Amino acid sequence: MQEKYSQEELAKLPFMDSDLDLEKRVEDLLGRLTLEEKFSLSKGKWNAVFHVNPIKRLGIKAYKMTDGPHGIGSGVLISRIKTTYFPGAIGRCATWNPKLSEEFGIAIGQEVREIGFNMLLAPGINILRTPLCGRTFEYQTEDPYLNSRTVVALVKGLQSQRIAACVKHYACNNQEHERFKVSSEVSERALQEIYLPAFKATVQEADAWCFMACYNKVNGIYGCENKNLLKDRLRDEWGFRGFVVSDWFATQYVTSTESCINAGLSLEMPGRLSGLLLLIPSKFTKKQLRKAFLGGKFSEETLNENIRRFLRVMFLTGHFDEKSKLPPGSRATPEHITVSRRIAEEGIVLLKNENNILPLNIEKITKIAVLGPNAKKKMAFGGGSSLVRSKYEITPLKGLQNKCQGKIEFVKTAAEADVTIIFAGLNHKGGNDCEGSDRKSLDLPQKQIDLIKQTTQENKNTIVVLINGSPIAMDDWIDKVPAIIEAWYAGLEGGNVIADILFGNINPSGKLPITFPKKLSDSPAHQSPKTYPGTDKVFYEEGIFVGYRHFDTKNIEPLFPFGHGLSYTTFTYENLQIDKETMSENDKISISLDIINAGEPAGAEVVQLYVQDVESSIERPLKELKGFQKIFLGPSEKGSVTFELSKPDLSFYDETNHCWTAEQGIFKILLGSSSRDIRLEGQFEYLA
């Protein structure tokens, strides 16, 4: 029976009491829901793509969600709301500074709170398996350790504002090509070592409140009905207390209503889009849920558990609490813009700088030519669901104009200029850095290659600044230009930051979170049509040898290695200390070293620690990242960094015995400035 409540009665119900224990509130509310109301809470609102049905009788307001990874956008597409455009996720990850990801999480959480929503449809943390993936710019890295450290900080920051993170796309949505159909055929070892660690870390280290199930199948079963992923691993093994939402329209291809309910899918999004335009078949209409339930296809207890999780997150996000009891919201504030700017400052990567042509000296240059399709292009409002409704956006040209006004003359041709800057790269049109399809090639568009070649004939002082979010092949033109900057999609202050880097007001400190291959066929996912793009199945035959694990182990020279990034100063590594010669199972080993800024400008170095298992009974990567620290040093300043390793850092996943194992023997510790620029080496013996 549905009880009716007056406003006064409602306010006195136990679940409305914000001082009551969370689980008691959840059980109280769950106990009051009718079966039909539970059905209603299982699906998106029929005429709103980002809302869940309210239940007025119980004072349950519509639960609201918005994308996404770089700022608020598609949840408020048709409003006039203006928000902060943050750098693309790959650029944020390139800072190798998790503190900035935490600050980003806090800032975007405040923006989501300000617009009155509950959940951010981010972060996206699928591993960058192929450099062609259309969503590379939205994801973080090819490395599970860097992925985990970065995303844990982000989720903690975001949820500190009592806004739910929605970690996506769980799992193995590593390509856009045929994303609704393809099955990622992946080994247990690769799942454990490469594809799942960051997802697991968000649960175990950051208590992520929501996961988004992927479009694709994993080993033959769609994400939304994959009991192994949603129940066995996520809930039972990892201890997830939140709920799972489908990716938008993902349920249209699954087997049945009950397969999703029984697998642990709490919420199907979106509801059916209104009548005339798009009628997407969904599996969680009330009629379908009722029929499956009455037919005994799922139990009320199973449904209750799915709903219980959703209610829990409603309470965690303060859905029933007075505004005064929640963290305050704010949007596009100077503080948020500063966070966006700092991410760009630390994430932009100096790829090449021959003869120290950079930084440019504003006193010495009189004429500058600015060329290339991305000089004037705004990037915020594109790329698919990660588009951002930005308050403003400083283009690269505008940034240079701001910097050089009154000091340097802008000329039209390279021949007239002292220095030419070409803003090349990609954009967010389909087939570039864009959701829904993959890139067709690793190259820049031919027109841009021609422009670079032509320009360098006219002017040797030509600098290429790349605005894009995925690796680019450069063999054709790299030798012709003395300097290259990878600026990613750098957020609303991007143009100003790029100008600051070009003229040395900021010393670059970003490092690549992904290997740039020389050519596509060098890349592990591109060994045959079976490994990419696949047909109904795509076979992850490279196993754990993804990214630098492949390039380093197979000794293939990349264009730029994982972890690479130059600075306007240089750093010396010395005085490596390892506190023990042997380490046993429950021990920890401590590693420290000194870093010296051997040059003039202040700068930051990302010290990377890789581990190598010298002798192993199974094939292991030549090296694996197990620690990193970003250290800021003034001119000639010396600092020290310390790392700690324990058994999990030495382990691999043993498929025969279904467990993690570290084998006795010598382990090397490699410390360096990139995966290919190792400066110090040491070793110890592990006693199993």
Find out whether 150 and 197 touch, Cβ atoms under 8 Å: no
Shortest Å, Cβ 270 to ligand BGC: 8
287: its two tokens: 């009629």
Looking at the Cβ atoms of 51 and 168, the one nearer to ligand BGC is: 168
| First-to-last C-alpha distance (Å) of the chain | 62
Looking at the Cβ atoms of 149 and 168, the one nearer to ligand BGC is: 168
Give 83's strand partners: 390
Find out whether 209 and 162 touch, Cβ atoms under 8 Å: no
Looking at the Cβ atoms of 101 and 385, the one nearer to ligand BGC is: 385
Shortest Å, Cβ 248 to ligand BGC: 4
Residue with tokens 């100096």: 350
Looking at the Cβ atoms of 15 and 248, the one nearer to ligand BGC is: 248
Residue with tokens 């009974």: 617
Looking at the Cβ atoms of 25 and 217, the one nearer to ligand BGC is: 217
**Residue with the shortest CB distance to ligand BGC:** 385
Find out whether 643 and 592 touch, Cβ atoms under 8 Å: yes
Shortest Å, Cβ 247 to ligand BGC: 5
Q: Indicate left, alpha or beta for 555 from its phi (over 0: left) and psi (-120 to 50: alpha).
A: left
Per-residue burial over 68-101, b = 16 or more CB atoms within 10 Å of its CB, e = otherwise: bbbbbbbbbeeeebebbbbbbbbbbbbbbbbebb
Build a one-symbol-per-residue string for 118-157: x at contacts with ligand BGC by CB under 6 A, - elsewhere: ---x------------------------------------
- When computed from its CA atoms, the radius of gyration of the chain, rounded to whole angstroms, is 26
70-89 residues near ligand BGC, rule: CB under 6 A: 74
Looking at the Cβ atoms of 118 and 395, the one nearer to ligand BGC is: 118
Find out whether 257 and 279 touch, Cβ atoms under 8 Å: no
161-180 residues near ligand BGC, rule: CB under 6 A: 168
C-alpha–C-alpha distance, residues 584 and 601, integer Å: 43
Find out whether 126 and 525 touch, Cβ atoms under 8 Å: no
Looking at the Cβ atoms of 103 and 247, the one nearer to ligand BGC is: 247
Shortest Å, Cβ 181 to ligand BGC: 15
Build a one-symbol-per-residue string for 205-244: x at contacts with ligand BGC by CB under 6 A, - elsewhere: ----------------------------------------
Catalytic entry in 17, 143, 207, 247: 247
88: its two tokens: 């693309």
Looking at the Cβ atoms of 216 and 597, the one nearer to ligand BGC is: 216
Shortest Å, Cβ 146 to ligand BGC: 21
Known catalytic membership, residue 247: yes
Looking at the Cβ atoms of 388 and 424, the one nearer to ligand BGC is: 388
Residues 6+ apart with CB under 8 A from 78: none
200: its two tokens: 């697991």
Give 517's strand partners: none
Shortest Å, Cβ 74 to ligand BGC: 5
Which of 287, 459, 247 minimizes the C-alpha distance to 369? 459
Q: Indicate left, alpha or beta for 249 from its phi (over 0: left) and psi (-120 to 50: alpha).
A: left
Residue with tokens 């100063």: 569
The one-letter amino acid at 569: T
C-alpha–C-alpha distance, residues 661 and 652, integer Å: 6
SS3 string of 303-336? HHHHHHHHHHHHHHCCCCCCHHHCCCCCCCCHHH
Looking at the Cβ atoms of 193 and 247, the one nearer to ligand BGC is: 247
356-415 residues near ligand BGC, rule: CB under 6 A: 385
Shortest Å, Cβ 405 to ligand BGC: 40
Find out whether 152 and 206 touch, Cβ atoms under 8 Å: yes
Torsion sign, CA atoms 220, 225, 227, 231? positive
For ligand BGC (CB under 6 A), the number of binding residues is 8
C-alpha–C-alpha distance, residues 539 and 184, integer Å: 6
Looking at the Cβ atoms of 95 and 385, the one nearer to ligand BGC is: 385
C-alpha–C-alpha distance, residues 105 and 670, integer Å: 32
Q: Does 247 bind ligand BGC (CB under 6 A)?
A: yes
Find out whether 258 and 289 touch, Cβ atoms under 8 Å: no
Find out whether 63 and 269 touch, Cβ atoms under 8 Å: no
* DSSP-derived 3-state class of residue 392: coil
Shortest Å, Cβ 388 to ligand BGC: 13
Of 66-74, 182-190, 401-409, 594-602, the window that binds ligand BGC (rule: CB under 6 A) is 66-74
Shortest Å, Cβ 121 to ligand BGC: 4
Which stretches of 265-418 are assigned E, i.e. beta strand?
Answer: 349-353, 367-371, 409-411
Of 67-75, 106-114, 332-340, 563-571, the window that binds ligand BGC (rule: CB under 6 A) is 67-75
Find out whether 489 and 70 touch, Cβ atoms under 8 Å: yes
C-alpha–C-alpha distance, residues 83 and 100, integer Å: 18
Build a one-symbol-per-residue string for 649-678: x at contacts with ligand BGC by CB under 6 A, - elsewhere: ------------------------------
Residue with tokens 């800072």: 95
Binding site for ligand BGC (CB under 6 A): 67-68, 74, 121, 168, 247-248, 385
Active-site positions? 247
